[in-house]
Amino acid sequence: MAAQILDGKALSQQVREEVKVEVDKLRGLGVRPGLHVVLVGDDPASAIYVRNKGRACEKVGINGVTHRLPKETTEEELLDLLGKLNADDEVDGVLVQLPLPGHISESRVNDAMDPARDVDGFLPVNLGRLLAGREGLVPCTPAGIIRLIDQSGTAIEGKRAVIIGRSIIVGKPVSLLLMQRHATITVCHSRTRELARLASEADILVAAIGRAKMVKGDWIKEGAVVIDVGMNRDENGKLCGDVDFDEAAGRAAWITPVPGGVGPMTIAYLLRNTVIACCARRGLPSPF
Ligand code: NDP
């Protein structure tokens, strides 16, 4: 069987168009959603992510503002900026690009952020809402993954979903979302025994590990949906996922490519979350 490609680039374009429709409506009401991205230091990968986020905002009409701070910025200075953003009514979403320099405590930064503007959905309040099954800001990559699975036409309910990775930004929230959609979930990590056997039982396999091509073809159940979150470099420096794509594509029914799978969905859902936050802060009904 040759897998069909779950095209995250095309699907993310659709999500962006949906977002633009809602941004246009808000602008008709005199409201322009604003997303503020804070970048501390000069990590080159972070600089690229931040630039891409700014461009994506522009394209859908969101006011994207980047605050570039030098790597010597003190924790107090960063907390001071976050305080100012929390007090500014034009600011609907705030995102602090990770990783932060070592002298700044991530948890103190998180504590200084307003959960209503937490468009990454990483703050404990929003993760707690997700756990409780209540409305809130859902982390972007996991939300994008669910949309990709839905796009394949696969009914999630009753399926066996195996998630490799238990990070707070991908593995854990995507597991909760899949459970909310009535999948039976197995969450694997670095201490999991018989990983290959567990993976091979998955109707839906999500790999969020950060290890190039670790998931081999014989780990894949015939006809599975394979979502590859990983963004790694292979031995030739080429961008690749956590799944050995060529091998897995011979067995899966659907598979996401890297690049062009989960990555573009993450940015699209960031824009979507900004509109959700904007509406919620202003007492407007959620458009999505
Ligand atoms: P983390 O490093 O935070 O988590 C990795 C997870 O994989 C951990 O739970 C870890 O287990 C598990 N793991 C590591 N090695 C093994 C192993 N040998 N066997 C089984 N499990 C293992 O990574 P993230 O969740 O932040 O990211 C994962 C990947 O996804 C990365 O490549 C990242 O770049 C990419 N990513 C892509 C995004 C996108 O938009 N496309 C967005 C976010 C991430 P343990 O908990 O035991 O340490």
Evaluate whether 165 touches 209 at the Cβ level (below 8 Å): yes
Tens of each residue's pLDDT in the chain, 288 residues: 699 999 999 999 999 999 999 999 999 999 999 999 999 999 999 999 999 999 999 999 999 999 999 999 999 999 999 999 999 999 999 999 999 999 999 999 999 999 999 999 999 999 999 999 999 999 999 999 999 999 999 999 999 999 999 999 999 999 999 999 999 999 999 999 999 999 999 999 999 999 999 999 999 999 999 999 999 999 999 999 999 999 999 999 999 999 999 999 999 999 999 999 999 999 999 999
59 carries an active-site annotation: no
Q: Which token pair is 272?
A: 């979507």
Q: Which token pair is 210?
A: 């950060």
Q: What is the DSSP string of 87-156?
A: T-TT--EEEEPSSPPTTS-HHHHHHHS-GGG-TT--SHHHHHHHHHT--SPPPHHHHHHHHHHHHTT---
Q: If you measure from the C-alpha of residue 38 to the centroid of ligand 1, how many angstroms do you get, rounded to a whole number? A: 23
What residues contact 19, with CB distance under 8 A and at least 6 apart?
60, 62, 268, 271, 272, 275
Residues with CB under 6 A from ligand 1: 141, 164-167, 169-171, 188-192, 195, 208-211, 229-232, 262-263, 266
Average pLDDT, the chain: 97
Helical H segments across 184-253, by residue range: 195-199, 245-249
Residue 114's φ and ψ, nearest 5 degrees, are: -85, 120
Which of 168, 169, 190, 239 has the most ligand 1 atoms within 8 A of CB, as the residue to mutate? Answer: 190
Q: What is the pLDDT of residue 1?
A: 61
2 DSSP assignment: P
Q: If you measure from the C-alpha of residue 123 to the centroid of ligand 1, how many angstroms do you get, rounded to a whole number? A: 19
Q: Which token pair is 275?
A: 């509109």
Q: How far apart are CA 119 and CA 139, in angstroms?
A: 8
Evaluate whether 85 touches 66 at the Cβ level (below 8 Å): no
pLDDT tens-digit readout, 73-97: 999 999 999 999 999 999 999 999 9
Residue 268's φ and ψ, nearest 5 degrees, are: -60, -40
What residues contact 246, with CB distance under 8 A and at least 6 apart?
217
Evaluate whether 58 touches 23 at the Cβ level (below 8 Å): no
Q: Which atom of ligand 1 is nearest to the CA of 265?
A: 40
97 carries an active-site annotation: yes
Q: What is the DSSP string of 50-99?
A: HHHHHHHHHHHT-EEEEEEE-TT--HHHHHHHHHHHHT-TT--EEEEPSS
Partnered with residue 118 across adjacent β-strands are none
Q: What is the DSSP string of 240-253?
A: E-SB-HHHHHTT-S
Domains parsed from the chain with CATH numbers: 30-114 (3.40.50.10860), 140-263 (3.40.50.720)
Q: Which token pair is 98?
A: 């990770």
